[in-house]
């Protein structure tokens, strides 16, 4: 079978340069994302979604893993600023966290591009970047814009959760120096039907260690999620070379429980487990709320560039009471008692870029034009 002519342009080569990949807005349109931008990030070379739990549904399988270093060594950035909300969730015995990770705080329609750095980058980006970095870049308010979006995804199997997304992006230039941007979105993916994998134990007889007949258990499906996000950005360009951004953000992620547990299979034949009742109700068993305030300055000068920011990030992690150790670790044991963890983080950074073409000719007159060494 002839494949025909295959052309790899210089642009495509640059996008997949050694150790670095760039996902453009056009890529996102050609490969639509159902819920989380992690779905397209995982397609980059050396990138995967990790999974350490027996059911394959619980814990950090939803988080980005670069070159096998694990999610704890992958730093997620939004517009160059760190996102650390996942650390509000405790680690299990195997190092996993029951969280969707930090790539799902930005709706895909608001993304301009995504930069993926594969390999150690802690020297530049700090703690958490030993495995790599994912920088999600949002659309800047360069011109007046009103963008409304609605998307629906219905799987072929009606027992799998469907998705609906609604989003708004409004940008307005008040004058040549000042611009505003407001974004809002609602994204809901239903959980899989609790009976999705029930046929795997149909007709079987299951016994415990003592030989007594017990209800057979089977893996739960994928839980659902409801995202509510809003941001307000104030952008000021006092000069041709300087820009100051002031941004406020609020996001809420709540799950739609499908019966998944950290240890064991999750659901039982006949609906006799505690997880069964919560899954049948489609209950919300954990909620993550993220609030941010950030001040950013960027400068583009003849001698180089400057980027500085200070950010306050607050994450509230509320979840139904769970077992903490032993065989019941991670298993929900209450439908009314909630535990809460609050994570407050203040982060800041300043980066200075020097253009060697400005300095080298002065230091090395023989280097010639362009400052090449």
For residue 372, is pLDDT > 50?
A: no
- Specify whether the CB–CB gap between 329 and 262 falls below 8 A: yes
Provide, rounded to the nearest whole percent, the portion of the chain with pLDDT above 70: 87
Average pLDDT over residues 103-126: 90
Q: So what's the pLDDT on residue 1? A: 57
Is residue 373 situated within a structural domain?
no
CATH of the domain at 261: 2.170.130.10
Local confidence band at 13 (pLDDT 50, 70, 90 cut-offs): very low
- Specify whether the CB–CB gap between 37 and 63 falls below 8 A: no
**Cα–Cα distance for residue pair 278/321, rounded to 1 Å:** 13
**Cα–Cα distance for residue pair 125/185, rounded to 1 Å:** 29
User: pLDDT tens digit string along 172-194?
Assistant: 999 999 999 999 999 999 999 98
Tokens of 222: 């994928």
Is residue 308 situated within a structural domain?
yes
15: phi then psi, degrees, rounded to nearest 5? -65, -30
Is residue 113 situated within a structural domain?
yes
For residue 348, is pLDDT > 90?
A: yes
The residue segments making up the domain with residue 191 are 10-367
**Cα–Cα distance for residue pair 121/118, rounded to 1 Å:** 8
234: phi then psi, degrees, rounded to nearest 5? -115, 120
Is residue 1 situated within a structural domain?
no
Is residue 5 situated within a structural domain?
no
- Specify whether the CB–CB gap between 196 and 259 falls below 8 A: no
pTM, whole model, 2 decimals?
0.86
| Among the listed residues 308, 337, 305, the one whose alpha carbon sits nearest the alpha carbon of residue 320 | 337
Of 13 and 349, more confident: 349
Local confidence band at 311 (pLDDT 50, 70, 90 cut-offs): very high
User: pLDDT tens digit string along 121-134?
Assistant: 888 888 889 999 99
- Element containing residue 213 per DSSP (H, E): strand 213-214
Q: So what's the pLDDT on residue 203? A: 82
90: phi then psi, degrees, rounded to nearest 5? -65, 155
Paired strand residues for 296: 245, 309
User: pLDDT tens digit string along 14-27?
Assistant: 445 558 899 999 99
Is residue 316 situated within a structural domain?
yes
**Cα–Cα distance for residue pair 182/244, rounded to 1 Å:** 16
**How many structural domains are present in the chain?**
1
Q: So what's the pLDDT on residue 218? A: 87
Mean pLDDT taken over the chain: 86
Is residue 2 situated within a structural domain?
no
Tokens of 153: 């995804």
Is residue 3 situated within a structural domain?
no
**Considering just the CA atoms, what is the radius of gyration of the chain in Å?**
24
**Cα–Cα distance for residue pair 24/1, rounded to 1 Å:** 31
């Amino acid at each position: 079978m002839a494949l025909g002519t295959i052309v790899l342009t210089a642009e495509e080569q640059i996008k997949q340069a050694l150790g670095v990949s760039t996902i453009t807005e056009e890529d996102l349109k050609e490969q639509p994302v159902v819920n989380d931008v992690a779905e397209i990030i995982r397609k980059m070379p050396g990138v995967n979604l990790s999974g350490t739990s027996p059911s394959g549904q619980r814990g950090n399988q939803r988080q980005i893993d670069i070159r096998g270093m694990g999610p704890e060594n992958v730093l997620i950035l939004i517009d160059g600023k760190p996102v650390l909300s996942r650390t509000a969730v405790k680690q299990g015995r195997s190092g996993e966290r029951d969280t969707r990770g930090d790539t799902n705080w930005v709706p895909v329609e608001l993304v301009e591009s995504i930069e993926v750095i594969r390999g150690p980058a802690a020297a530049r980006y700090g703690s958490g970047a030993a495995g790599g970095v994912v920088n999600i870049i949002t659309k800047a308010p360069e011109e007046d814009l009103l963008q409304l979006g609605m998307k629906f995804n219905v799987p072929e199997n009606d027992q799998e959760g469907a998705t609906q997304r609604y989003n708004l992006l409004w940008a307005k230039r008040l004058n040549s120096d000042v611009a505003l941007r407001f974004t809002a979105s609602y994204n809901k993916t239903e959980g899989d039907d609790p009976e999705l994998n029930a046929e795997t134990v149909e007709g079987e007889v299951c016994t415990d260690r003592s030989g007594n007949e017990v209800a057979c258990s089977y893996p739960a499906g994928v839980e659902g999620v409801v995202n509510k996000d809003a941001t307000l950005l104030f952008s000021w360009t006092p000069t041709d070379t300087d820009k100051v951004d002031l941004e406020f953000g609020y996001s809420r992620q709540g799950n739609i429980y499908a019966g998944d547990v950290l240890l064991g299979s999750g659901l039982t034949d006949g609906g006799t487990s505690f997880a069964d009742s919560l899954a049948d109700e489609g209950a919300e068993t954990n909620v993550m709320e993220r609030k941010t305030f950030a001040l950013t300055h960027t400068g583009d000068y003849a001698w180089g560039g400057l980027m500085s920011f200070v950010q306050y990030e607050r994450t509230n992690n509320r979840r139904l009471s769970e077992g903490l150790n032993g065989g019941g670790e991670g298993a929900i044991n209450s439908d009314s008692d909630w535990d809460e963890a609050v994570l407050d983080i203040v982060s800041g950074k300043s980066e200075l870029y020097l253009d060697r073409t400005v300095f080298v000719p002065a230091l090395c007159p023989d280097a010639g034009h362009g400052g090449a060494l």
